[in-house]
Amino acid sequence: MKLTPDAAGTFAIAPTPFHHDGKIDETSIDRLTDFYAEVGCEGVTVLGILGEAPKLDAAEAEAVAVRFVKRAKAMQVIVGVSAPGFATMRALARASMEAGAAGVMIAPPPSLRTDEQITGYFRQAVEAIGDDIPWVLQDYPLTLSVVMTPDVIRRIVMENPSCVMLKHEDWPGLEKITRLREFQKDGSLRPLSILTGNGGLFLDFEMERGADGAMTGYCFPDMLVDVVKLSKAGQRDLAHNLFDAHLPLIRYEQQQGVGLAVRKYVLKKRGIIASSAQRKPGSVLSETAREEVDYLLSRLARIDKRADLELRSSAAE
Amino acid sequence: MKLTPDAAGTFAIAPTPFHHDGKIDETSIDRLTDFYAEVGCEGVTVLGILGEAPKLDAAEAEAVAVRFVKRAKAMQVIVGVSAPGFATMRALARASMEAGAAGVMIAPPPSLRTDEQITGYFRQAVEAIGDDIPWVLQDYPLTLSVVMTPDVIRRIVMENPSCVMLKHEDWPGLEKITRLREFQKDGSLRPLSILTGNGGLFLDFEMERGADGAMTGYCFPDMLVDVVKLSKAGQRDLAHNLFDAHLPLIRYEQQQGVGLAVRKYVLKKRGIIASSAQRKPGSVLSETAREEVDYLLSRLARIDKRADLELRSSAAE
Amino acid sequence: MKLTPDAAGTFAIAPTPFHHDGKIDETSIDRLTDFYAEVGCEGVTVLGILGEAPKLDAAEAEAVAVRFVKRAKAMQVIVGVSAPGFATMRALARASMEAGAAGVMIAPPPSLRTDEQITGYFRQAVEAIGDDIPWVLQDYPLTLSVVMTPDVIRRIVMENPSCVMLKHEDWPGLEKITRLREFQKDGSLRPLSILTGNGGLFLDFEMERGADGAMTGYCFPDMLVDVVKLSKAGQRDLAHNLFDAHLPLIRYEQQQGVGLAVRKYVLKKRGIIASSAQRKPGSVLSETAREEVDYLLSRLARIDKRADLELRSSAAE
Amino acid sequence: MKLTPDAAGTFAIAPTPFHHDGKIDETSIDRLTDFYAEVGCEGVTVLGILGEAPKLDAAEAEAVAVRFVKRAKAMQVIVGVSAPGFATMRALARASMEAGAAGVMIAPPPSLRTDEQITGYFRQAVEAIGDDIPWVLQDYPLTLSVVMTPDVIRRIVMENPSCVMLKHEDWPGLEKITRLREFQKDGSLRPLSILTGNGGLFLDFEMERGADGAMTGYCFPDMLVDVVKLSKAGQRDLAHNLFDAHLPLIRYEQQQGVGLAVRKYVLKKRGIIASSAQRKPGSVLSETAREEVDYLLSRLARIDKRADLELRSSAAE
């Protein structure tokens, strides 16, 4: 089932699991996919920036994408296809769609500056992959250094009918969501799914501003699922209560470089992936950092039992 | 009293209060200074990046610095003197010290790249201001795009005896604090005060890693004072409890551009500054954003009574 | 006489002459100004990026601007007023105009990214200095990292009637001149003077594309004057012959950091400024570099006698 | 024959020839390779930044590298293997060497800032490709924004015995060559071949500073070969005479974005490649720009007959 502007809910950004020797861990891919389905994710996004995608060669990237797609069953899989050149982007996009992916995600290359360069780039990208592939526009200035105004996003969406979703992770970005939803009210922007990233750091208010859900890699996607649902059900206080309990850990995971290490450490502790190894150049948690994460988990567990990992953890060592 | 490597506690980063017409609001400077003293700050840092320093002309900058210094009495005042050129830096540094400032703060210009360029810059800066002025090294890569390794910081500190403090706001930065403290244990780095910034987002763990205190502009410096004290007293859980209650607001204030508007909005609500106006180019809070901050304050007030601002707020309108 | 869109010819970018001890050399300012007038410059631009403007404090900057203006007589003086904040910009702009400057020049701060941010910045700048001051828009992406499309330049010019000139130094930029002139032909852009910078490296073709003249600091402004005139007179081959003879030196002066040192070295050799000293942080020519420049001058002197500096040089040592 | 620190002379940076439809033009690869051999190049560097390497997918990149290697016979072929991740880098490096390449070239990724990050990156890169592959360190700050001091280059070279050559294109860079040669004189740096890039813009003086030759893509590699030889033979004036005649065109080709279009245009005019097409996103020469290049060629032809392309050109249309 292909991605549409109606997409909503929680799309987990999946890390790529590796063995200690750097080989791809396919068994963990399967378990991770099953886990996302069990906790209620509507989709999975693979080979994103935090999925260590650039560290895979072309054949590996395709193999990882296909493995996730095959296992995902009912869940939609979005494949990150950002690449320095269109030939590579096209090859991965078409292979992923043939395998059954729901859509692809494209980030702008860091060299783009002007509004014209940005809109021109996405026109060419769509020409390259083909206009039959639904795609997600990734708006992530903090990491990519490309700044897209609401106007520019509207132009991209209106010029490219196959663009069906915005991965919103501008920072600050709350007013941007409001502005885009206003564009839709005044009829100048067609329907567009908006899922939010930034590690979930602003998910509580993003939902209230009009986001359709979350697309991020926080190590408790189960919490993302709950907050998205509570918020949509108008349970403002309950949504914030749960969110705030997780915020100290969300915040800790937000540290660039360290974030992925925390994420893999917790997913391993939760028994979902076999190893927290990253491919080089990667980051590792110091013993002090691991103790800090454990402390945050123990504090979180007083409110959210899913964070009570001590037994499982010691068993997993 | 001049700044020394023994400096510790909480140094508030002061915003510069303006009237609605953009004029400097000197009465609010006085009230703000008194407020910082009342809540237990050891010092105040003025004309920092969030103090809208570049928007003042040279005469205004000096006037603001002097006003804070005169009012501060027992508190130490640090004056941000970063400038595109050394002549301007020197002029403000010497005028501030003559007025009674405790020291100055210097950030590296964004163009610096190599270790050599960075260490060379600070050598020249010290030559320019004179080596009799104690100064704070600002390490803020996220905004300044200048990355200093622990080794480079050590070189700067060891080459310049008048450098007595590090304003630490690398992100991630916990391991950096640990590393610098290890340098001191192995004797390769002399005593150095480390106060942490980043809006307080990691203050809980920064204290545990060995920071001497906080230097940041969060709108509840009273909380910073408490967390620093609790942490130093070894009250880990209590420190985290208080910190976590404030974290949703700290996080909200963390949004670049929006942060200063939130800060001034809350300080005005607390009755400390008369107007939340910024000089152009400035940011303003939308009505929705103000409602969000109010909601965060109301949630915080359930735990920290100092956030219960409704009466005062309505009185202040 | 205030600057108008009819401005044309050669505007020399003046270096700021210093004594060896870093003090401003006012006698050399006078001689330099006279020199520019003697060789036929229509104007002088002071306190530009290569004028070491950020190294002056506010009082010095004003003094330098006024000194040039007073001495310039018939020549128009443009004062660079780019500053991190509008208060400083306004102060220098108004003081310069009162002293008799023809206009001011404003460059965008490096942090600007989107078309909206750029056009918004110049609206605010004009509001700050007052809309009665004619100003030059500086378009210099290589150094400032702000990219303005022809469309954005048109928007800025049309929104701000006091913008009368473009200092064009985009690189590559030939098509940009062509595009702007097309805008004028189709009536969508009002009259605008275009003077070109980039050290003169493309002056030959820039004139043919429709530039009104040169605004740059090459150490032989006399050559710029001649090439501008020859080109306007339709003497294509003669213009290129003269230009090509200077190109090896123009190219050598183009090296960032080294450029200003070469420029001051040659101006000193020509007997125009007393010292080639720069304020810190500055660059110095190695002995080998000086020998290379001398060699280039000797080669140039075979074609352009003005480069035959040996006698004057030895006298000046 | 593998690359050694004794490598010298001219290594042409080859463009990748495409057909109008974007397919790789293998016949033109062969003709281009033969041409480089005929004019006296010692080597060819393929898949460099100007070789549109990022626009090829992995299979195409390998095919292009192998095609050049097979055709090159006596000439050494260096393959650019810079990639966002080590898996891709390793795959292309090992495939190229197996096919008979002389070595590979590695540029630092733009995100690197500190000396430690830079030296660490190259250690990991060598670990990834294997320490049996001779490689060229590319130092190109203007495009890559990574600044390496002479000290850092020395550290990289001394830590990685398989690094045998520096592609020098820092700008300004003359003093850097001098400094590295001094390191060798004082024994702190082992033998290292230094070939210079930057489109040849400073080749005249780079040779005099101690470079071993040129590695750049100027459309007259025959001129590079001659200048390198004349300079080594101590024929200073003759080297400069020839160089200066080409400088107006070298300078024109230097325009970023336009450069490759000029290069392919002239190579096509010279009858060497069949089409000047670039893969998207590419640049095209306007009619005016083509006329300008033709004018520069006609002026050059008065001195260097190899630039007299009119007959050949009209035949090739």
DSSP secondary structure, chain C, as one string: ----TT--EEEEEPPPPB-TTS-B-HHHHHHHHHHHHHTT-SEEEES-GGGTGGGS-HHHHHHHHHHHHHHHTTSEEEEE---SSHHHHHHHHHHHHHHT-SEEEE---TT--SHHHHHHHHHHHHHHH-TTS-EEEEE-HHHH-----HHHHHHHHHH-TTEEEEEE--SS-HHHHHHHHHHHHTTSS---EEEE-GGGTTHHHHHHHT--EEEE--S-HHHHHHHHHHHHTT-HHHHHHHHHHHHHHHHHHTSTTHHHHHHHHHHHHTTSSS----PSS-----HHHHHHHHHHHHHHHTT-GGG--HHHHHHH-
A175 touches chain B (CB under 8 A): yes
Q: Which residues of chain D are within 8 Å of residue C255 when distances are taken between CB atoms? A: 171-172, 174, 202
Q: How far is CA A83 from CA A54, D84, D112, in A?
A: 8, 9, 19
Please enumerate in sequence order all residues whose Cβ is within 8 A of that of A45, keeping only pairs 6 or more positions apart, or say none.
Answer: A11, A12, A13, A14, A51, A77, A78, A79, A80, A105, A136, A167, A215
A304 touches chain B (CB under 8 A): no
A244 touches chain B (CB under 8 A): yes
Confidence at residue B50, expressed as pLDDT on a 0 to 100 scale? 82
Nearest-CA distance B283 → chain C (Å): 13
Nearest-CA distance A156 → chain C (Å): 15
C12 touches chain D (CB under 8 A): no
State the Cα–Cα distance between residues D297 and D308, nearest whole angstrom: 7
Does D88 score more than 80 pLDDT? yes
Residue B190 in any domain: the answer is yes
Residues forming a β-bridge with D9: D213
Does D317 score more than 50 pLDDT? no
Average pLDDT of the segment spanning C256-277: 96
For chain A, residues with pLDDT lower than 50 are 313-317
Residue among C251, C256, C289 whose CB faces D201 most closely: C251
Confidence at residue C208, expressed as pLDDT on a 0 to 100 scale? 98
Residue C269 in any domain: the answer is no
pLDDT band at D312 (very low <50, low <70, confident <90, very high): low
Q: Do B55 and C127 touch (CB under 8 A)?
A: no
Burial pattern C207-225, b for ≥16 Cβ within 10 A else e, equals bbbebbbbbbbbbbbbbbb
* CA atoms B15, B20, B24, B28: torsion sign: negative
Q: Do C148 and A114 touch (CB under 8 A)?
A: yes
Burial class (CB in 10 A: 0-12, 13-18, 19+), B299: middle
> Which percentage of chain C shows pLDDT scores above 90?
91
Q: Which residues of chain D are within 8 Å of residue C289 when distances are taken between CB atoms? A: 174-175
pLDDT band at C6 (very low <50, low <70, confident <90, very high): very high
In degrees and rounded to multiples of 5, residue A21 shows phi and psi of: -85, 5
Q: Which residues of chain C are within 8 Å of residue D258 when distances are taken between CB atoms? A: 172
State the Cα–Cα distance between residues A83 and D84, nearest whole angstrom: 9
pLDDT band at C289 (very low <50, low <70, confident <90, very high): very high
Residue among C54, C60, C87 whose CB faces B57 most closely: C87
Does D302 score more than 90 pLDDT? yes
Report the number of distinct structural domains present in chain A: 1
Q: Do C58 and B58 touch (CB under 8 A)?
A: yes
A57 touches chain D (CB under 8 A): yes
State the Cα–Cα distance between residues D260 and B91, nearest whole angstrom: 49
Residue A276 in any domain: the answer is no
Residue A210 in any domain: the answer is yes
Residue A115 in any domain: the answer is yes
Confidence at residue C317, expressed as pLDDT on a 0 to 100 scale? 39
CATH number at residue C129: 3.20.20.70
Confidence at residue B125, expressed as pLDDT on a 0 to 100 scale? 98
Residues of C at the annotated binding site for pyruvate?
A: 215
For chain B, residues with pLDDT lower than 50 are 313-317
3-state secondary structure at position D116: helix
Residue A285 in any domain: the answer is no
Confidence at residue A312, expressed as pLDDT on a 0 to 100 scale? 52
D291 touches chain C (CB under 8 A): no
Q: Which residues of chain C are within 8 Å of residue D145 when distances are taken between CB atoms? A: none
Instruction: Give me the total of CB pairs closer than 8 Å, taking one residue from chain B and one from chain D.
Output: 24
Structural domain range at position A217: 9-243
Quick one: which H or E segment has residue D183? helix D174-185
> Which percentage of chain D shows pLDDT scores above 70?
98
* CA atoms D294, D300, D305, D306: torsion sign: negative
Does C245 score more than 90 pLDDT? yes
Confidence at residue B311, expressed as pLDDT on a 0 to 100 scale? 53
Residue A283 in any domain: the answer is no
Q: Of B12, B22, B5, which Cα lies nearest the Cα of B220?
A: B12
Residue C207 in any domain: the answer is yes
Residue among D113, D116, D149 whose CB faces B116 most closely: D149
Q: What is the ipTM of this complex?
A: 0.96
State the Cα–Cα distance between residues D296 and D294, nearest whole angstrom: 5
Please enumerate in sequence order all residues whose Cβ is within 8 A of that of B280, keeping only pairs 6 or more positions apart, or say none.
Answer: B22, B55, C86, C124, C127, C128
* Closest residue of chain C to B52, computed from CA coordinates: C85
Separation of CA D299 from chain center: 26
Average pLDDT of the segment spanning D4-19: 98
